Chain A
Amino acid sequence: MAVSVSSERDTVASPVQRAFREALYAGAIALGLFILFIGLKTDQNISNQLILAQRWGLLITVVVLTMLGRFFYIAYGQPFMTNQKIADVATGLLPASLASRFFQLPAFIVAIVLAVVLFAFNSALPGLVGDKLAGGLQFLRALAVIYALACVIFYFRAFIHANFTKLGIAALVLYPILVVVVLSIYAWSIMGGLQGSLKWVDNYGIQILIYVMLAWGLNIVVGLAGLLDLGYVAFYAVGAYAYALLGSHYGLSFWILLPVAGAMAAFWGVMLGFPVLRLRGDYLAIVTLAFGEIIRLVLINWRDVTNGSAGVSGIPKVTFFGLMTFNSTDPNYIGKVLDIAQSSAYYKIFLYYLILALALLTAFVTTRLRRMPVGRAWEALREDEIACRSLGINTTTTKLTAFATGAMFGGFAGAFFSARQGFVSPESFVFLESAIILAIVVLGGMGSLVGIAVAAMVMIGGTEALRELDFLKSFFGKDFTPELYRMLLFGMAMVIVMLWKPRGFVGSREPTAFLRERKAVSGSFTKEGHG
């Protein structure tokens, strides 16, 4: 590792000297990397010809920032990390001492007070300090809330760790209610609360849970059976189009089509599984990738059925188990039946609970299957395929069931997705989606449901949160669009998290059976499969 090499030089140069030298190197490299792309910009002029715009100031800023970052990392960051004596370099766990210095009671109280004050005076802020600062203060408020929450988690970490699953499910179930209640109090009206909750329930809650479910589904194939699948989004697409087409053409209900979508996706899972049975490693990866692309290309080009790139619209909404609907024009609209005011929030909250139920079903089935022979066979397959065969396990059917089961949950998620959006197009099923889902599985720790859920929350929630940074416009000017940086930061976050925790957030494996006590199996023993 580069770090260990540089620490040898430590003996001859002081950290500051070394940092200075490293900073110069970093600056030179950054200059080389950025000179053409940040220093110059290709723009179109009025006659649509490309011209170059010059941005040398920006280039210098970026290079200087890189140098400063490198300098401080080598001079202070690295010695600090070494002094912390990170016991477990492999897992990158922060030592408790560092964390306890970061989460302190006075700071916690300050954060709470700050958050409450800023919430209380929210509407008065722009008048008091001006628009620009008000945006910044709102951001500060969000940070204070996050810090306070992190403190609570830190202080109760033992309790949380012991009851993580129960607490997690409880938090997920209560989440929309809490959001509505908090926002209702804030807005002094229940309707206001419902309207305000839309963003929180839909953009964060549903969005993250879809990815949680997809990642849990893919986890069966990649995390348990150890078969690398780069085309998982294809099954998502199959499920989505199955509901979109059958639902809009034949008017079949979501509740009938949900199993149909799952079954169709599972069927395609087996179809993919057959040719790739003999393939290993990267050959498997490319064929699954190719499969994902084939499905997308067929969706684009089979215009008679799929309406091509334009996509399918007018997909019926989910009904409340056939009893009530969420279309305000219907006679049995939920508002009319229950005699409450009209709001689009009901549907979103209902969808939230629907995807939560589907995700929990995935988790339940996965945990259940892991304790059954087929699940153990998946994991054994990941560990050693030849040994599996020597024990009489039919590896063909085992692989196919893994593909089919994983695909089925992808299909469920797809049907849900098209019901939620009301519109599907091939745009939603690009390779990037497969990559994001796979990244969540690996970042979470292969095989660990909790780790994967956390990874989905961090990665998807994090990128969604970047949409909230509009206040930065007031600092960097109107042209600044933080959303543009969303995927750039997402990609970089993938790299950083992987470097920090190569085995994912939860690197250990929970055994499926025990004789005396359940001990987690360290990640260094588990294999990653040949696929």
Chain B
Amino acid sequence: MSANSMKDAILQVEHLSMKFGGLVAIGDLSFQAKRGEITALIGPNGAGKTTVFNCITGFYKPSEGMITLNGADGSSFLLERLPNHEIPARAKVARTFQNIRLFSGMTLLENLLVAQHNKLMKASGYTILGLLGIGGYRRASAESVELAKHWLEKADLVDRADDPAGDLPYGAQRRLEIARAMCTGPELLCLDEPAAGLNPKESAALNTLLMDIKSSTSILLIEHDMSVVMQISDHVVVLEYGRKISDGSPQSVRTDPRVIAAYLGVDDEEVETVLTEVGDEDVIEQLDIGPDTAHGPGTSSSYLAGPVSDTIGHSEGERVTVSKGASKAAQFDAKASVAPRKPTERATAKPPGKSPTSKPRGGRK
């Protein structure tokens, strides 16, 4: 990691681990998000993406590791040490939620005004001066309405400013939540599946909004919709079972066989196919000898694979229990490591016409 890259990384996650009792949700995760970029965090369901978000935004205290936020003014914060509410207030990290959390009984405008709480608290002299009508609260209040209006316009919601937030259609609620997060004046915006449940039109509107935000604010994004990820993100981190399996540009990630294996939930035979496509003749020979005897009863990598569990060792000695054959990437590694690994560039992409978001085919068996 060069000194330069340290400098323009807005967020650095180093050796992050999060355990719930015996379950390791995130194990030794390190990545960084660069200033002015959109970094996408992707991975199959249950990969621990939201847990990473909750650690970054202070809803969980990580078991281990360091999360550093480098502010534009040169300040830096260790997020895991800040109380929950100070992360948006001081470190300027804002977030949205997977299941939208709006103040549904308040109007859109009020939602955006609540987001400017800390600024307005100061302006109102912690309520006391404002209550007496002294000081600049009136002006600050007018400014906050202006800022709210600005973001309502960006989110294309200004016509509904005086309606209750709960009354909005789903896509608009998503945009409002982003607008609300932006009203806190963040340097890093964390979006948890902003495109989930949106129709194509709404999805396109969202992309526009995000590209607009990107000009001023770095974005960390969890997303399932690959079209959004591939279109707008600059950098992609792929998680599976709490571990990073790939990290790089959208192009490099989409061709990473480990990612393909993780995402598609391919059958074992298909791992072979992929390898064949890659041209890994040695591996194929190896596989022909006797596949899977070491892997227990399941002959497929289906999620429904047998009850036998194996444990994957961890650098610090925790044991993460994963159902047999569940981790596709690990399986791929197991197979690929039998033969000398070829450079990943040679790994051609998935068979044409197959979208990465298609239903994991392993589940069929």
Chain A residues packing against B (C-beta within 8 Å): 365, 368-369, 372-374, 376-377, 379-380, 382-384, 386-395, 401, 509, 511-519, 521-522, 524-527
Contacts and interface: CB of A to CB of B under 8 A. Distances in A.
Contact of A392 (B59, B118, B131, B165): B118
A72 to B, nearest CB: 40
A376 B110 contact: yes
8 contacts: A379-B105, A380-B106, A383-B103, A384-B104, A387-B101, A391-B117, A392-B87, A395-B85
B57 interface: yes
Given A365-B131, A511-B162, A393 B109 contact: no
A394 B161 contact: no
Given A374-B121, A376-B114, A392-B118, A387 B109 contact: no
Residue among B58, B103, B184 with max Cβ neighbours from chain A (10 Å)? B103
Contacts of A377: 114, 117
A525 B101 contact: no
Rank and list the top 8 A-B pairs by shortest CB-CB distance, nearest first: A526-B105, A392-B89, A392-B88, A383-B103, A525-B166, A387-B101, A373-B120, A515-B161
Nearest to A515: B161
A389 B149 contact: no
B149 A376 contact: no
B145 interface: yes
Contact of A394 (B85, B120, B152): B85
B113 A514 contact: no
Contact of B110 (A384, A393, A511): A511
Contact of B124 (A373, A394, A395): A373
A379 B121 contact: no
B258 interface: no
Contacts of A393: 85, 114, 117-118
Given A379-B105, A525-B105, 18 more contacts: A374-B121, A379-B106, A379-B110, A387-B102, A388-B114, A390-B101, A391-B181, A392-B85, A392-B87, A393-B114, A509-B105, A511-B106, A512-B110, A513-B110, A514-B161, A515-B162, A519-B107, A527-B104
Given A374-B121, A392-B117, A392-B184, A521 B164 contact: yes
A514 B116 CA distance: 16
> Which of B105, B106, B113, B152 has the largest count of A CB atoms less than 10 A from its CB?
B105
A513 B113 contact: yes
B86 interface: yes
A377 B103 CA distance: 10
Interface string B261-278: 000000000000000000
A522 B164 contact: yes
Given A372-B137, A390-B94, A525-B167, A383 B105 contact: yes
B8 interface: no
B28 interface: no
A386 B54 CA distance: 11
Nearest to A364: B131
Given A369-B131, A373-B120, A390-B57, A513 B105 contact: no
A383 B107 CA distance: 12
B110 A369 contact: no
B134 to A, nearest CB: 13
Interface of B: 57-59, 84-89, 94-95, 97, 101-107, 109-110, 113-118, 120-121, 124, 127, 130-131, 137, 145, 149, 152, 158, 161-167, 180-181, 184
Contact of A386 (B59, B110, B113, B163): B59
Contact of A390 (B88, B109, B121, B166): B88
B117 A369 contact: no
Contacts of B87: 392
A511 B105 CA distance: 9
Nearest to B105: A526
B57 A372 contact: no
Nearest to A396: B85
Contacts of B109: 511, 513-515
A386 B58 CA distance: 11
Given A373-B120, A395-B85, A515-B149, A387 B131 contact: no
A335 to B, nearest CB: 38
A519 B158 CA distance: 15
Contacts of A526: 104-105, 164
B184 A391 contact: yes
B101 A519 contact: no
A383 B152 CA distance: 21
B101 A386 contact: yes
A373 B117 contact: yes
Contacts of B130: 372
A11 to B, nearest CB: 37
A50 B314 CA distance: 77
A515 B158 contact: yes
Contacts of B121: 373-374
Nearest to B126: A374
A369 B126 CA distance: 11
B296 to A, nearest CB: 41
Nearest to B86: A392
Q: Which residue of B85, B87, B145, B166 has the most chain A CB atoms within 10 A of its CB atom?
A: B85
Contact of B88 (A391, A509, A511, A514): A391
Contacts of B103: 379-380, 383-384, 387
A98 to B, nearest CB: 30
A519 B57 contact: no
A300 B105 CA distance: 43
A527 B104 CA distance: 8
A379 B104 CA distance: 11
B164 A525 contact: yes
Nearest to B132: A368
A388 to B, nearest CB: 8
A224 to B, nearest CB: 11
Contacts of A386: 59, 97, 101
A526 B167 CA distance: 11
A374 B121 CA distance: 7
A390 B95 contact: yes
A143 B314 CA distance: 82
A527 B124 CA distance: 27
B197 to A, nearest CB: 18
Contacts of A373: 113-114, 116-117, 120-121, 124, 127
B105 A527 contact: yes
B162 A518 contact: yes
Nearest to A518: B162
A445 to B, nearest CB: 13
B114 A517 contact: no
A382 B266 CA distance: 46
A376 B145 CA distance: 14
Contacts of A369: 127, 131
Given A513-B110, A527-B105, A390 B161 contact: no
